[in-house]
Structure formats: structure tokens, C-alpha cells
Copies of this chain bind each other. A is one copy, B any other.
Amino acid sequence: MTMEKTLWQQVQLVKQKSPLVHNITNFVVMNNTANALLAVGASPVMAHARSEIREMAHIAHSVVINIGTLDEYWAESMLIAAEAAHTMQKPWVLDPVGAGATSFRDQTLQRLLQYRPAVIRGNASEIIALANINTTVTKGVDSTAQSNEAIDAGQILAGRYNTIVCISGETDIILNSKDQFFIRNGHPLMTKVTGLGCSATALIGAFTGVAEDKTLAVASAMSLLGIAGELAAKESPGPGSLQMLLIDKLYNITEEEFTAHLKIEQK
């Protein structure tokens, strides 16, 4: 089967299975994250109360943890959810927003990593900070490095935590201990819409929640978002329109559009 077919099958699988994705994410992106998940056919739930975290994770297909607007309460909730997912052998995905920006973020991330996420998705600065192999200056939550500068860091993380790492950027790089995928979809205007990285992480949660091959699931989710963003950007006079039209395109993208625009390379 061609790579195009393989990845499109994953897109179809999410629509068929409609996985329940339990998100503990940040306040900025919750609305768009929920809409992105609905648009691809998944079923989102946002829940962070310590009193219900375990029960919610129990009924979910996967868990997404995004530390964008964390605080002490939310950090503990995230730890409970990560532990629950780990114990129940459900995939959970980590979005280390702003890794390296503050020591509180770094300490929380170190604690989360002990529960072995199935996937870590971040921009290059975040992945480098997470692997701690470089002294990097994170400037808030936007990356100051290119994704290929973070490959070494990604490989360290993949080896250390037996996880899949997705470094998003102009080129999205997905790697595990064996394989590397390079995806060259997307559009520069996407960097002007807040939280599309967070949407990527949420889609990865949906896709890994139902797929056998988790690395292909990540590749499929990232391709879908990149292509949808690319197509939506063509119709968008600015980032406001792009935010909206991207949701439309995630919903109505066809196999032909997906196949015609996919730019993926395996190494």
C-alpha cells in the first residue's frame, strides 16, 4: 500500500471509531482544540478536576496533556492523568508548551515524563529544552530554532523514554528509535494563529487512540493538519480566517486533496 493510502486510512479510522479524547490543556486553545477534534470525527472531553481525572481517563481512548497555562493545581491533575493513562496502558500525548521558559515548567515536565508518554510533540526549542542537551533560550512559547536543529534532542528523548517524538515546524519531523519521517506541508501563516501546535497534539491524541502503529498515526495526524492548513491558507486573507477555515477543511478534506498535497519522506 502506498504511504498516501496508509495515512488516509488512519484519517478514516478516526472518523469510524470516533475516539473519546480526554484533554487537560490550556485556556487559550480549548475551544479550537475541541473543534479540531470534532472536525476530524473524534469526541473531545476537557476535564481537569482531581476528583474525576481517573474516571474520565478510564472512559477515554487517549489522554492529551498540554502545560500551556499550568498552575500548581493543574500540574497535579496532569500527573494523576498521566499516571492513570500509564497504568491503564492507554496512549497519552505530552505537549511541553514553553519548556525551558521557567523552572516550574521544567520540573513539572520531568515529573510527567516518568509516566512515559506515547508521543511528545513540541516545537524545536521545546524539544531541545526537554532533552536538556543545549542551553537554549526559549522566548515564551514560540520557537526560536528550526525543527532540524532538534533532531538530536528528539532522538535522545525517544531513546530515554521509549517514545515517539514529533518536532513541529516548517518541516515536521516525527521520529522513534528506528524511523524518521519528514513532512513538508503547512503554511507560514499558520504560525500567526495561536495554538495550532496544540491542535496538532490533540489530533495526535485522537489518532493514536485508535491506531495500531502509533508512529504512522502521528504522521497521519501531522500530515492532515499540515495539508488542511495549507489549503485553508490559500483562501485566507489573514490569520483570523485561517483559524476558521482550517476547521472547515479538517472536516471536509477529501482523499484526493490529501493525496495530491502530501509531502512526506521517510528516512
A: residues with CB less than 8 A from B are 20, 22, 26-32, 34-35, 38-39, 43-52, 55-56, 59-60, 68-73, 75, 98, 101-105, 139-142, 191-195, 236-241, 243-252
Contact = CB atoms under 8 A, between A and B. Distances in A.
Contact of A240 (B51, B98, B191, B243): B243
Contact of A45 (B32, B140, B239): B140
A247 B69 CA distance: 23
Given A28-B31, A56-B101, 13 more contacts: A27-B27, A28-B30, A29-B31, A38-B194, A39-B238, A39-B239, A44-B140, A49-B70, A51-B102, A52-B101, A55-B102, A238-B247, A240-B243
Contacts of A46: 26-28, 68-69
A32 B193 CA distance: 10
A139 to B, nearest CB: 6
18 contacts: A28-B30, A38-B191, A39-B192, A39-B238, A44-B141, A44-B194, A45-B98, A47-B69, A48-B69, A48-B71, A49-B75, A52-B102, A52-B104, A52-B105, A55-B103, A238-B250, A243-B244, A243-B247
A194 B35 contact: yes
Given A27-B30, A43-B139, A49 B104 contact: yes
